[in-house]
Amino acid sequence: MPIDDTLNAFVDHGRVEVLPTKQGALSGLTFALKDFFDLAGTPTGAGNPEWLATHPVPTKSTPIADRLLQAGAKLVGKTHTDELAWSLNGENAHYGTPINPAAPGRIPGGSSSGSAAATAGSLVDFAIGSDTGGSVRLPASYCGIYGIRTTHGRIPLDAAVPLAPSYDVAGWFARSPELMQQVGDVLLDGVRASRPPKRLLIARDLFAAVDEKARHALQPSVERLKAIVGTSEEVDVAGGERDAWRNAFRVLQSEEAWAAHGAWISAVKPQLGPGVKERFAAAAVMDPAEIAAAKPVRAAIIERMNVLLAGDAVLVLPTVPGIAPLRATPDAELDVFRARAIELLCVAGHAGTPQLSMPVAKLDDCPIGLSIMGARDCDEDLLALAVALGKV
């Protein structure tokens, strides 16, 4: 039976139902797929009607969908995304804004907005998203659910629309840490068991970057994590370089996004919505000197995070600066909030490390997430720690 989409979470061209191909660990569960990933026989729209009209219907599905179907899960549709996945708001000028079930008057966050809304609203058991600059972690925080950005390259992104390939990863949402872990058992390659962290690192400078009320709301869960891990210390992650880290992300993401889509945009001249239009216009005229200067900044960030997270350490940090902004917030205000959010979100993107956002608190009756980050390929450790925290 088709989903009764009360949240505007699903795309019309993706209202399909695909039965499991086998019985397995996820039998009896339903999932949704962001309309950024291909599904054989179903169009991929990538959040833009002209993309939908100018690209052939895929003949091959993303391996992510195949794995989940083989594990017994049923696919019940494809979900809305911001245009070409290049936004953090979840407001699509062509298709509207999915409802945030946890805060109906506020945006759901993007670009995996439909997947987050469908999960938070119990239309599905779990949903697949993608994360380049925060597009799983941020909507997970806004919608009061769990969401993971996986280690870069850990899960193949074949048969998916690129945005910035050296940052793009797959991720997923669920309402419980146990189901997050179950999905991870299927989608991760299974070559390593989880290990308990030996040290908890508290990101002093990143907590200082969020509102005092947000810090206060998150602090009880930080204390619970400290009790679970046993050994903790405060560290400065970016120190005074947060702005430089954010700018390097902007530059390098823009370079890769234009390389991925510039030819199509130049040929088709699609009608892009606010924010996305301006970002692509800026990407088209990037200064090569600015790009060259950003690359060693990223290299230094990678080295910094490799050292910081070595030895089974886990970093705890706020997912985003605060609760979801109200729907129809002026673009200028959203841009300011987006910049603050990217200062927190770009760390894992630059370093290619996994990060898991957990719905641990509320502020003004709206959800706010706390994140844990591990070294590359330590995704399982984060999932296990989230389960442990959920039991405390």
Residues involved in catalysis = 34, 111, 135
Question: Which pairs from 151-156 meet CB under 8 Å and 24+ separation?
Answer: 151/352, 151/353, 151/354, 151/376, 151/377, 151/378, 151/379, 152/352, 152/353, 152/376, 153/352, 154/188, 154/189, 154/354, 154/377, 154/379, 155/64, 155/187, 155/188, 156/63, 156/64
Q: Report the distance separating Cα 298 and Cα 303, nearest Å.
A: 9
If phi > 0 it is left, if psi is from -120 to 50 it is alpha, else beta; for residue 118 that is alpha
Tokens of 305: 């995070």
How many residues are there in the chain? 392
Alpha-carbon gap, residue 368 to 139, rounded angstroms: 10
Report in angstroms the alpha-carbon separations of 253 from 46, 89, 280.
17, 17, 11
DSSP labels, 69-119: HHTT-EEEEEE---GGG--SS--BTTTB----TTSTTB---SSSHHHHHHH
Q: What's the CA gap between 46 and 81, in Å, rounded?
A: 7
Q: Alpha helix (H) ranges present in the chain?
A: 49-54, 63-70, 113-120, 137-143, 177-187, 204-207, 212-229, 242-268, 276-283, 288-308, 331-351, 379-391
Q: Which amino acid is at 287?
A: D
Q: Which residue has the tokens 């957990």?
A: 358
Q: Report in angstroms the alpha-carbon separations of 134 from 42, 117, 174, 371, 390.
A: 26, 16, 16, 12, 23
CB-based burial label for 130 (10 Å; 0-12, 13-18, 19+):
buried
